[in-house]
Chain A
Amino acid sequence: MADTPTPSVAPSAPTLRRSHPLASREEDLRALTGGSVGVRPHLAMAVVRAAVPGPAARAAEDVLGTALPTRPNTWAPAAPGGGGEPGAVVWLGPDEWLVLADEPRPEALEERLRAALVPVGGSAVDVSAQRMSLRLRGAHARDVLAAGCAVDTHPAVFGAGTSAQTLLGQAGVVLLSRSDAGDDYEVLVRSSFARYLADWLLDAFVEHRGAEAPRDPAPDPVRPTTGGATP
């Protein structure tokens, strides 16, 4: 105890490796869905509370470079944060929004918003670790969602820029539509439900596996047989 001198420097300093709740599912998702379901890890997220119209809402709009969407079930693209993909501002309630941003340091999003919002009566809280982002793409994205989501996702009513906070496979999700063709969705799910939902998506995808590739043509009964006598 006391007689063993503690080394001042550890022989090999342990390094912290950044991980996320879907690290164990990324490979399966890629392989089993043909890349139709992708994971967007380490996305910066913040919840903004502000009265609209008001100084706090205007301050948020200055930081985000877009108007806060005031229509329920909508989202708006926001200025890129740390130089990555454009972010998003999602309507969560009449005075509540979820901001998504591609930031190398997730806390930076909260810091930028707080600095602008708090002096004028708004609030911004970092919720980056609260949810995971899954991206569903392809012709069967809608069918997969329909297996466990009651919201009408037809592009006529759920085109690009619409969103829904609802249940998918009984897990609470924020669903964003990113296309007018009904083939590109972003699913934000709470981290503790992420592995469950990834497994649920893999299961829902089974019936569509390989469907993206052209199938073997079914034997056509009326097609004349080439080079043979007609039966």
Chain B
Amino acid sequence: MQLIECPWCGPREEVEFSYGGQAHVPYPESPAELDDEQWAHYVFFRDNTRGTLAERWNHGAGCRRWFNAMRDTVSYRFSAVYRTAEPMPASVPLTGAGSSSASATTSTTTSTTTTGR
């Protein structure tokens, strides 16, 4: 089973965690001015990255804290975990076997999809 490293508790089995979707989706600055389509973009639309994506995870069976993680959506490999107050790591060095091919994927998929932000 894959181990996920909680920024508080350390490495634990993945069944202790739950997925919380894409990270760093900011709440609209002036929500009253949003039309239905813009709301739909905020609520439902997310990047569909092939490669490294910043995601929210919750350590439900452990410390029950939310944290952020950089995960490769192809290989499932986690390259970084960081607490919610910490900034997203700028460059993510991937470790482990097959890192050269994985990092090549990462560099080409820096997502710029607009999601109504």
Contact = CB atoms under 8 A, between A and B. Distances in A.
Contacts of B15: 167
Nearest to A173: B61
A165 B62 contact: yes
A73 B63 CA distance: 9
B41 interface: no
Interface string A93-128: 110000000000000000000000000000000000
B63 A92 contact: yes
Contacts of B62: 164-166
Categorize the interface residue count of chain B.
Answer: 10 to 19
Interface of B: 1, 8-10, 12-13, 15-16, 61-65
- Of all A-B residue pairs in the complex, the 7 with the closest CB atoms, nearest first, are A165-B62, A150-B13, A72-B8, A93-B63, A167-B61, A172-B61, A72-B9
28 contacts: A72-B8, A72-B9, A73-B9, A73-B10, A92-B63, A92-B64, A93-B8, A93-B63, A93-B64, A94-B8, A94-B65, A150-B1, A150-B12, A150-B13, A151-B12, A164-B9, A164-B62, A165-B9, A165-B62, A165-B63, A166-B16, A166-B61, A166-B62, A167-B13, A167-B15, A167-B16, A167-B61, A172-B61
